[in-house]
């Protein structure tokens, strides 16, 4: 059962994790209830809701700015509700409009119990940061997005960690991208996210130059950034690492294999996961706790077992 009470607000918990000296926050990408349950069962203490995964799993579409605020906040809120003790960092793309909309996005993410959101400087018709020919908004438009998020946070009783993402590295270069991040930090961002880093030198420089602001590393499988370990990222100086594609690649391969086996042989018995029962999956998703809850309340539906 997902629990409604919040012992420590998600943002407070994430801030405490960021303040721990030797800690790197490792956030596996999740995009639905099942992938969230898998990451939680594995013992991760922070999760990342990927916008790419949300767009693909909820809409069956590529990461091209198609998901709306409603798609994103509903998914983020559902994911955050599964275990309130584990903070969720969620993609908020461009914030979905002008300052008013960015403020509304921030308020809704806060209300949904999301610990942190990232807002970027691409045009609203954005694309995945690891694709080519991205278009940017002007710096003042970007900074206004971040300021709108910070102002909404200040005006509310809640808290949310604001992560400023810039996609400017590819078209404007390192100096301009970092200058955008500095301005975003001055406007109220707590964490910096230089998207699609292409060298270790850039990685080291950005962590050093923006210190003490924590910097996030986006580890996209097959993307522009070389694959590095958590240990190496920590040594470079990153404080958060997100793995947007973590659940999607393995899911694609495994489901494809099972689908092929069914199509070609008429039975599924050899593919990875063919031996996982429906009941096992329900247990992963809280079957036993749900039964206990029903019985404790005096329900009789499950008293004889399920």
Ligand X SMILES: C[C@](O)(C(=O)O)[C@H](CC(=O)O)C(=O)O
List of residues contacting ligand X (CB under 6 A): 50-52, 63, 91, 128-130, 218, 220, 223, 244-245
Task: Tell me the closest approach of the beta carbon of residue 128 to ligand X, in angstroms.
Answer: 3
Query: With respect to ligand X, which residue has the nearer C-beta, 82 or 194?
Result: 194
**Minimal CA–CA distance to 219: which of 116, 129, 89, 127?**
129
Q: Tell me how far the alpha carbon of residue 150 is from its chain's centroid.
A: 19
Query: With respect to ligand X, which residue has the nearer C-beta, 77 or 129?
Result: 129
Query: With respect to ligand X, which residue has the nearer C-beta, 221 or 290?
Result: 221
207-232 CB burial, b ≥16 within 10 A, e <16? beebeebbbbbbbbeebbbeebeeee
Query: With respect to ligand X, which residue has the nearer C-beta, 212 or 225?
Result: 225
Rounded Cα gap, residues 215 and 233, in angstroms: 11
Q: Is-contact 18 191, C-beta < 8 A? A: yes
By the 10 Å C-beta count (0-12 exposed, 13-18 middle, 19+ buried), 189 is classed as: buried
Task: Tell me the closest approach of the beta carbon of residue 1 to ligand X, in angstroms.
Answer: 28
Task: Tell me the closest approach of the beta carbon of residue 248 to ligand X, in angstroms.
Answer: 9
Query: With respect to ligand X, which residue has the nearer C-beta, 199 or 288?
Result: 199
Query: Mapping DSSP to helix (H, G, I), strand (E, B) and coil, where does residue 238 land?
Result: coil
Q: Which long-range contacts (CB under 8 A, 24 or more apart) does 66-72 make?
A: 67/93, 68/96, 69/96, 69/101, 69/104, 69/105, 69/108
Task: Tell me the closest approach of the beta carbon of residue 151 to ligand X, in angstroms.
Answer: 24
Task: Tell me the closest approach of the beta carbon of residue 122 to ligand X, in angstroms.
Answer: 9
């Amino acid at each position: 059962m997902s629990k409604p009470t919040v012992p420590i607000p998600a943002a407070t918990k994430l801030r405490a994790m960021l303040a721990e000296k030797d800690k790197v926050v490792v956030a596996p990408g999740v995009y639905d209830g099942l992938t969230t349950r898998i990451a939680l069962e594995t013992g991760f203490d922070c999760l990342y809701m990927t916008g790419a995964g949300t767009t693909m799993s909820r809409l069956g579409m590529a990461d091209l700015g198609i998901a709306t605020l409603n798609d994103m906040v509903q998914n983020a809120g559902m994911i955050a509700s599964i275990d309130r003790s584990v903070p969720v960092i969620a993609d908020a793309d461009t914030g979905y409009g002008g300052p008013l909309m960015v403020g509304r996005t921030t308020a809704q993410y806060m209300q949904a119990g999301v610990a942190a959101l990232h807002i970027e400087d691409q045009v609203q018709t954005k694309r995945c940061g690891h694709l080519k020919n991205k278009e940017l908004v002007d710096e003042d438009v970007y900074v206004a997005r971040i300021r709108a998020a910070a102002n909404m946070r200040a005006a509310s009783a809640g808290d949310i960690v604001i992560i400023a993402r810039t996609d400017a590295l590819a078209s404007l270069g390192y100096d301009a991208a970092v200058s955008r991040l500095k301005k975003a930090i001055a406007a109220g961002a707590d964490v910096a996210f230089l998207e699609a880093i292409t060298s270790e030198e850039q990685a080291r420089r950005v962590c050093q130059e923006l210190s003490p602001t924590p910097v996030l590393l986006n580890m996209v499988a097959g993307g522009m950034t070389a694959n590095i370990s958590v240990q190496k990222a920590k040594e470079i100086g990153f404080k958060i690492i997100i793995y947007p594609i973590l659940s999607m690649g393995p899911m694609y391969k495994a489901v494809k294999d099972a689908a092929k086996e069914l199509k070609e042989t008429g039975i599924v018995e050899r593919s990875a996961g063919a031996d996982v029962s429906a009941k096992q999956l329900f247990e992963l998703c809280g079957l036993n706790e749900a039964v206990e809850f029903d019985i404790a309340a005096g329900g009789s539906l499950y008293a004889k077992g399920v």
